Amino acid sequence: MMQHDEVVPVLDFGSQYTQLIARRVREKGVFSELVRPDISADELRKLKAKGLILSGGPSSVYEPGAPKCDPKIFDLGIPILGICYGMQLGAQVLGGQVKPAKAREYGRAKLSVTSDDPLVHGLPKDTSVWMSHGDQVHELPRDFIALATTPTCPFAAARHRSRPFYGVQFHPEVTHTPRGEQIFQNFLYDICKCAGNWTMDNFIEQTVKRVRQQVGNGKVICGLSGGVDSSVVAALLHKAIGDQLICIFVDNGLLRKNERELVESTFRDHFHIDLRVSDASQQFLKELAGVIDPQQKRKIIGKEFIEAFKREAQNISGAKFLAQGTLYPDVIESGHGYAGTAANIKLHHNVGGLPEQLGFELVEPLRELFKDEVRRVGQTLGLPENLVWRHPFPGPGLAVRVIGEITPQRLSVLRDADEIVLEELIAADLYRKTAQVFAVLLPIGTVGVMGDARSYDSVIAIRAVESQDFMTADWARIPYDVLAAMSNRIINEVRGVNRVVYDISSKPPATIEWE
């Protein structure tokens, strides 16, 4: 991790909302990262933390084996905010009593502010908050002052009289707590006295310096896919090292319509980046001929990608580094995302085991960022809007959207249908309001009437979802008239399609992609 002059770490006690806390802090202009719940006070001292947040968690503080923090963190003299489990843990360490609540509280509750303390300053006297807990602080020791109550929770917010420890029994980080961001604002600026210098401009400046140090005068190869992450990596590295960057774009024959042209015009014409395009489409389609099993498709595509990438990379003399678009959630998911722990990243599906095979060192300039921050960096660097706000596109491309056998003709049908779906989505101003929208070609023919004759043609499914983090997703309620326009145009303009259906399943249990 970069050394930050201002950081507020989040001790992760296992709440489903922990990443959200770090994101809320960053949105307020202060850098935040997740750290192990048992991180020592000494390690925190080294991080020069301006404050600490103890996250919620599913355990009860009395369960055997419940996660605990180093009690010495309360002697560091820096402000600490305990959320839910974090509040109970802090109150317990500092002499309070935690007991099971009479009823598990889950959902909205009415918060009444009873004191004008810096933590709750600016909140209306009554406001709505989101509760999710089984235990609550039952008795505050004499050293604590109650700041707010709910009908079932006498100490919904509290503080220690002499130490800078604050606790809330609700979740200020979720959107269901409408004034939650005010609590973070108060904690970070009025209590921790942060300056708020986590901006994308500062991030770019620091990253440029760091990349120059790491790379020296070596060459860096970057695999471009046309997606947001790899595009931002390329633009950021180009700013840092200019001509030392060489981008490779593998055309696997499974791209969307005009995808290759978009990448070439953006990176060659706009950024003047050295871009090598490897047209391996014939080879990919030859290997995929007759293959129906989705896992088999993915394996073939992964293997062929590595072969094509290696062929291009071997023509570049003096290349020692491989750039990759690893993001902070990837780092966390790999289980090694905590500060002070050696990182062992799950490799990006596009690059597989390439670094070891080529003997390259990895450059990962985005590994501290969440997705929304990556998009902001892209905007700051001047990437075109349509690239910065692109919906995710799977590594195996259209191969996992052509269900069944992949042939040039079936790919062509899907490309044309997919383009119509996106055109109508953009025309209705819904592209930025949805997370992912695309067409899928099904491996069945159904009967229809075209002109006066019966037809027996293909079915296109439209998939549209709304999602914050892609861990869960709900099907998007696209207006009927927009769906009608998509369907009419596909059936009239794409030869070989006579039926369009709309996918109304949520994730879980369904996945976003069909294969």
For residue 191 the two structure tokens come to 């209590």
Q: Are 347 and 223 in contact (CB under 8 A)?
A: no
> Looking up tokens 């103890």, which residue turns up?
54
Instruction: Give the span between the Cα atoms of 486 and 43, in whole angstroms.
Output: 56
Is 173 a known active-site residue? yes
For residue 313 the two structure tokens come to 């990379």
Residues in CB range of 452: below 8 A, 6 or more apart: none
How distant, in Å, are the alpha carbons of 165, 224, 301, 374, 504 from that of 32?
18, 29, 37, 16, 37
For residue 134 the two structure tokens come to 């089984």
Q: What H or E segment, with its residue span, contains residue 238?
A: helix 228-241
Nearest-5° Cα angle at 373, 369 to 378:
110
Is 63 a known active-site residue? no
Instruction: Give the span between the Cα atoms of 11 and 357, in whole angstroms.
Output: 37
Q: Are 12 and 44 in contact (CB under 8 A)?
A: no
Pick the catalytic residue: 4, 160, 171, 238?
171
CB atoms within 10 A of CB 480: 9
Instruction: Give the span between the Cα atoms of 239 and 390, in whole angstroms.
Output: 22
Is 192 a known active-site residue? no
Pick the catalytic residue: 173, 259, 364, 368?
173
Pick the catalytic residue: 69, 84, 192, 247?
84
**Among 386, 391, 376, which residue's Cα sits nearest to residue 265?**
386
Grouping H, G, I as helix, E, B as strand and the rest as coil, residue 7 is strand
Instruction: Give the span between the Cα atoms of 67 and 69, in whole angstroms.
Output: 7
Please name the amino acid found at residue 167. G
Enzyme catalytic residues: 84, 171, 173
